């Protein structure tokens, strides 16, 4: 885990750095408040040790800026303070610091407090991750997808890159549940999720949109490439074969694909992919339909085998 030490005293920096490196931590240093804020933004450490009295910005001012930045506010802060006054400690803790260490510090105590703060940070990270995952399939959930789409939309607008969105729905999924029971239906959802994950690049984001509906965000991908991606997924889903009650379950899925060209809001991207999915369903299911240039690109409707 990464620790950033912000202190204007070279002695303190050297001592704390040496001790924390012995703990197998990735340690970086900043010799003032301004540099500390820059490094915090760049490195996103798991913990910040922050001196209270520095010439450029005080520890309080740095802490205030960290806590007001949504990307940095979750990083725990431990104040390093020469001031032994209760008032300083209370003020620091009230500002959101998790702990303080009085200088000159005992290196053993410093390391123990750092370990304790990092234990809590690890648990918090784990809880945050869990809150973003669908518990059954372990794909990203709908809320995480909305957050990511907001970020990708902003990035795409800045760099004028492509952004594609795929909506997918398992065909006649209710029949699977009705015929084979919900545990079998859950196995189908997991198998489909694995197909989506296997077809995704590191930068893509597969998610469970709800029920038997899935979505994939494909950054830097135009709709033609996204349709090819969807077609690969469709073919792989057709190959899924699960046994239940001495019978074999086969499923198919329908896909709607859209990209961000000519769009002004990310909601329109979801809406277009959803419309394309609706059309795929009504054209007979087990197919990919691409939304393009205000017209239905029917040349990319590919029939399934069955
Ligand atoms: Mg100082």
Write down the pLDDT at residue 298. 44
Dig out the tokens for 122 from the structure: 């690890």
Distance 198 CA to ligand 1 centre (A): 51
Cβ distance 43 to 54 under 8 Å? no
Long-range contacts, 197-202 (Cβ 8 Å, 24+): 197/139, 198/236, 199/229, 199/232, 199/233, 199/236
Residues carrying an active site annotation? 212
Euclidean distance between CA atoms 180 and 191, whole angstroms: 15
CA distances (Å), origin 293, targets 85, 158, 193, 223, 298: 67, 22, 30, 11, 12
pLDDT range class, residue 283, cuts 50, 70, 90 = very high
Question: What's the pLDDT tens digit per position in 55-81?
Answer: 999 999 999 999 999 899 999 999 998
**Residue 160, helix vs strand vs coil:** coil
Distance 91 CA to ligand 1 centre (A): 17
Question: What's the pLDDT tens digit per position in 99-110?
Answer: 999 988 999 999
DSSP-assigned beta bridge partners for residue 20: none
Write down the pLDDT at residue 205. 97
Cα–Cα nearest to 46, from 74, 13, 16: 74
pLDDT at 190 over 50: yes
Write down the pLDDT at residue 306. 33
Distance 171 CA to ligand 1 centre (A): 65
pLDDT at 294 over 50: no
Dig out the tokens for 44 from the structure: 């996103």
128 or 298: which carries more pLDDT confidence? Answer: 128
Distance 256 CA to ligand 1 centre (A): 59
Tell me the mean pLDDT in the region 238-247.
Answer: 94
Distance 8 CA to ligand 1 centre (A): 5
pLDDT at 300 over 80: no
* Maximal CA-CA distance, the chain: 77
Tell me the mean pLDDT in the region 184-205.
Answer: 97
CA distances (Å), origin 179, targets 183, 245, 248, 306: 11, 10, 11, 20
DSSP-assigned beta bridge partners for residue 289: 256
pLDDT at 146 over 60: yes
Dig out the tokens for 136 from the structure: 């059954």
Domains of the chain: 2-131 (3.40.50.2300), 142-300 (3.30.70.270)
pTM, two decimals, is: 0.76
With a CB cutoff of 8 Å and minimum separation 6, the contacts of 138 are 193
Write down the pLDDT at residue 303. 42
Question: What's the pLDDT tens digit per position in 77-94?
Answer: 999 987 677 888 889 899
Write down the pLDDT at residue 302. 46
Question: What's the pLDDT tens digit per position in 14-40?
Answer: 999 999 999 999 999 999 999 999 999
Beta-strand pair 77-81/99-102: parallel
Distance 17 CA to ligand 1 centre (A): 16
Distance 98 CA to ligand 1 centre (A): 19
245 or 42: which carries more pLDDT confidence? Answer: 42
Other CB atoms within 10 Å distance of the CB of residue 63: 22
Tell me the mean pLDDT in the region 224-251.
Answer: 95
User: DSSP for 215-253?
Assistant: EEEEET--HHHHHHHHHHHHHHHHT--EEETTEEE---E
């Amino acid at each position: 885990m990464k620790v950033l030490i912000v202190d204007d005293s070279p002695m303190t920096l050297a001592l704390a750095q040496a001790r924390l490196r012995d703990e197998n931590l990735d340690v970086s240093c900043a010799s003032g408040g301004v540099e500390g804020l820059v490094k915090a933004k760049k490195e996103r450490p798991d913990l910040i040790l922050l001196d209270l009295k520095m010439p450029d910005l005080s520890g309080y001012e740095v802490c205030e800026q960290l806590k007001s930045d949504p990307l940095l506010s979750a990083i725990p802060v431990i104040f390093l303070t020469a001031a032994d006054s209760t008032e300083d400690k209370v003020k620091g803790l009230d500002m959101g610091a998790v702990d303080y260490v009085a200088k000159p510090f005992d290196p053993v105590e410093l390391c123990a407090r750092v370990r304790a703060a990092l234990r809590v940070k690890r648990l918090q990270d784990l809880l945050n991750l869990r809150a973003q995952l669908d518990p059954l399939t372990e794909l990203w959930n709908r809320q995480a997808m909305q957050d990511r789409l907001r970020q990708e939309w902003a990035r795409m607008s800045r760099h004028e890159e492509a952004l594609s969105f795929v909506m997918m729905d398992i065909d006649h999924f209710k029949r699977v549940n009705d015929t084979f029971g919900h545990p079998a239906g859950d196995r189908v959802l997991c198998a489909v999720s694995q197909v989506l994950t296997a077809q995704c690049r590191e930068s893509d984001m597969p998610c469970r949109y709800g029920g038997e509906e899935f979505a994939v965000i494909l950054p830097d991908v135009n709709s033609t490439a996204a349709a090819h991606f969807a077609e690969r997924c469709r073919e792989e889903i057709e190959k899924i074969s699960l046994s239940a009650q001495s019978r074999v379950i086969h499923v198919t899925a329908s896909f709607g694909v859209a990209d961000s060209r000519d769009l002004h809001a990310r909601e329109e991207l979801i809406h277009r992919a959803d419309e394309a999915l609706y059309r795929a369903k009504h054209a007979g299911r087990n197919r990919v339909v691409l939304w393009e240039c205000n017209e239905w690109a029917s040349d990319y409707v590919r029939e399934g085998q069955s």
